[in-house]
């Protein structure tokens, strides 16, 4: 396991990842095609919950290919005027869950949109409600290798596009939210999706990436055999002639490329004992991130990356940025620390 003594060497790591030359062309074309299909409508249906301070709406919006994507929109009940907003993406295999889940951001005064990842939601945390009507070739069990034969068919092309459209749709509801005060959050896979959106959508106000997945992907498969990266390992163990083709596809979906194009003030976190998303991959994407940034390393935590204590950091940071008329400067951390407690002493 990593210890505090390893942190300086760990922090010095830089990834060998090289993005495809036509990365921008690919994503600009994908988003232009999708945006031309339908307006970013956000259809809302009120859900009775028995809650006294939060209103919950079943939300639907058009994603990749015009396919319907489901989400929950949670709003403070006693609200006045357009609110700052937080768009959240969930972890691998999960889904938007139930109406009573994830009440943090609405309770803190934000419009909170929690978006399904298509085809997922059958593993844990209450499930999801968004199917993926697109098939794929042979894949390892799970989602990570679906359509991986080609960048145009890879499942995360659809997932990332859905996520961008969710932000488009929420921003269009100026009766509910201030489009200039929209932030992104996500743990693990959700952090990877949020990174993609941060690199593809200009003008976002803030972001929080907790133990982000799909970053420095090839290095991650060298460092861990844990799920979900084990799906790539298993797939290539059976398809030995497709190694370079597979990583060529994944090059269009690596968080490092999106980080280089992101500008929103961002907070990163990683657990030094994370065996799912090796902490060095979060450090690599932190270094690549083009906007103002901070990184918090949790010495005794794994994939939870500080859990609610780390969320408290984001809650305080977002409050300073999204709930005031003047945005204070957010500066990079001067040096990595092994835990937040050590940093605060």
Return the active site residues. Answer: 188, 274, 303
| Six token digits for residue 200 | 């593809």
C-alpha dist (Å) from residue 120 to 157, 159, 233, 246: 15, 10, 20, 22
Whether cis (ω within 30° of 0) applies to the bond prior to 197 is no
Angle subtended at Cα 254 by Cα 85 and Cα 203, rounded to the nearest 5 degrees: 30
Phi-psi region of 50 (alpha: psi -120 to 50; beta: other; left: phi over 0): left
Sorted by sequence, the CB contacts under 8 Å of residue 12 that are 6+ apart come out as none
Which regions of 188-280 does DSSP assign to beta strands (E)? 206-210, 266-271
Are the CB atoms for 200 and 31 separated by under 8 Å? yes
Are the CB atoms for 270 and 305 separated by under 8 Å? yes
- Any idea what DSSP says for residue 197? H
Angle subtended at Cα 65 by Cα 59 and Cα 67, rounded to the nearest 5 degrees: 30
Tokens 């990570």 belong to residue: 144
């Amino acid at each position: 396991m990593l210890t505090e003594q390893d942190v300086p060497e760990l922090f010095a790591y830089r990834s060998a990842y090289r993005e495809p030359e036509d990365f921008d062309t690919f994503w600009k074309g994908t988003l232009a095609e999708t945006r031309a299909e339908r307006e970013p409508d956000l259809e809302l249906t009120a859900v009775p919950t028995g809650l006294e301070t939060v209103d919950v709406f079943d939300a639907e919006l058009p994603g990749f290919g015009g396919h319907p994507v489901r989400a929950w929109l949670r709003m403070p009940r006693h609200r006045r005027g357009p609110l700052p907003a937080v768009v959240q993406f969930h972890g691998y295999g999960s889904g938007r869950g139930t109406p009573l889940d994830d009440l943090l951001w609405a309770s803190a005064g934000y419009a909170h949109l929690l978006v399904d990842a298509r085809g997922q939601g059958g593993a844990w945390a209450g499930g999801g409600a968004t199917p993926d009507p697109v098939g794929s070739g042979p894949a390892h069990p799970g989602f990570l290798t679906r359509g991986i034969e080609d960048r145009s068919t890879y499942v995360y092309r659809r997932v990332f596009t859905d996520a961008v459209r969710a932000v488009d749709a929420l921003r269009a509801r100026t009766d509910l939210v201030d489009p200039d005060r929209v932030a992104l959050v996500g743990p693990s896979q959700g952090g990877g999706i949020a990174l993609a959106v941060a690199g593809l959508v200009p003008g976002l106000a803030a972001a929080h990436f907790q133990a982000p997945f799909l970053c420095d992907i090839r290095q991650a498969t060298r460092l861990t055999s844990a799920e979900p990266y084990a799906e790539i390992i298993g797939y290539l163990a059976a398809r030995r002639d497709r190694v370079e083709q597979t990583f060529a596809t994944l090059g269009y979906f690596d968080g490092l490329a999106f980080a280089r194009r992101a500008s929103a003030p961002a907070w990163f976190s990683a657990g030094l004992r994370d065996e799912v998303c090796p902490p060095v991959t979060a450090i690599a994407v932190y270094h690549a991130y083009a906007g103002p940034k901070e990184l918090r390393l949790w010495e005794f935590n794994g994939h939870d990356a500080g859990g609610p204590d780390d969320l408290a950091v984001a809650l305080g940071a977002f409050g300073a940025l999204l709930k005031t008329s003047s945005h204070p400067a957010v500066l990079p951390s001067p040096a990595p620390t092994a835990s937040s407690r050590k940093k605060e002493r």
